[in-house]
Amino acid sequence: MATCIYFDLDGTLTDSGEGIMNCAAKTLLHYGIQPPQGDGLRAFVGPPLRESFPQWGIPQERVEEAIRIYRGFYVPEGMFQNRPYDGIINLLKKLKADGYRLFVATSKPEAMAVAILDKFEMAEYFEGIVGAVADGKVDTKAQVIGELLRRYPDAEDAVMVGDTAYDILGAAEHQMAAIGVSWGFGEVRDMEKAGAKAIAHSMDELYDILTKEKERA
């Protein structure tokens, strides 16, 4: 298997749904768009905001404005309405002890990703944390992976771990295998259709898939 593991953040390392959906709802209301109740805004978790807002009726010419408004809500409060998934820190400890090089590749702005991982004392497990940049030139998952490879050119022997088809497809653009996880915000069938090498349903199963130490049932 690969010697490097790239992890998505939202829906893979941390359950960030509450903060993202709350801030998305406030942003839609700012534009007079009534958000759905419950988990109706789950689709905001994972994809770049530049892709999400137009799907909810924000005109393309106002998307950058909507992103600024969203982040005005998200930075002071929303990004910490969040928690690491049960067992993820133990998984990272084991993988690092096994000698794997660990990285984060997220479409979330990089400074926010670092702040979140620092808050939950997870940053120490990662050799690099790479996210979106403000000019929009690094935004999609494929672009983020490309930026990670630019910064760490010796980390190309890698596998991507994520919870949406965006992670799987982004990895495929770099001829990289990807593993989906079912505890996040994407649909298993979408990840399978996108070409996920495997789907993990627990931290133990993800560890087994990554290390191939056990036969899957």
pLDDT in tens, 114-124: 999 999 999 99
Q: pLDDT-based confidence at 15, cuts 50/70/90?
A: very high
- pLDDT for 216: 39
DSSP letters for 66-104: HHHHHHHHHTTTGGGS-EEPTTHHHHHHHHHHTT-EEEE
Q: In what order do the strands lie in the sheet with 128-132?
A: 128-132, 101-109, 4-7, 158-162, 177-181, 198-200
Residues with active-site annotation: 8
Percent residues over pLDDT 70 in the chain: 96
Domains for the chain: give ranges and CATH numbers.
Answer: 4-15+83-211 (3.40.50.1000), 17-80 (1.10.150.240)
- pLDDT for 136: 64
CA atoms of 196 and 203, how far apart (whole Å) = 17
Q: Which residues of 41-58 are buried (b: 16+ CB within 10 A; e: fewer)?
A: bbbbbbbbbbbbbeebeb
Contact 144, 47 (CB under 8 A): no
Both structure tokens of 217 = 């049932």
CA atoms of 188 and 165, how far apart (whole Å) = 8
Global confidence as pTM: 0.85
Tell me: the pLDDT tens digits for 47-105?
A: 778 889 999 999 999 999 999 999 999 888 888 889 999 999 999 999 999 999 999 99
Tell me: the pLDDT tens digits for 133-156?
A: 866 678 899 999 999 999 999 999
How far does CA 207 lie from the centroid of its chain? 18
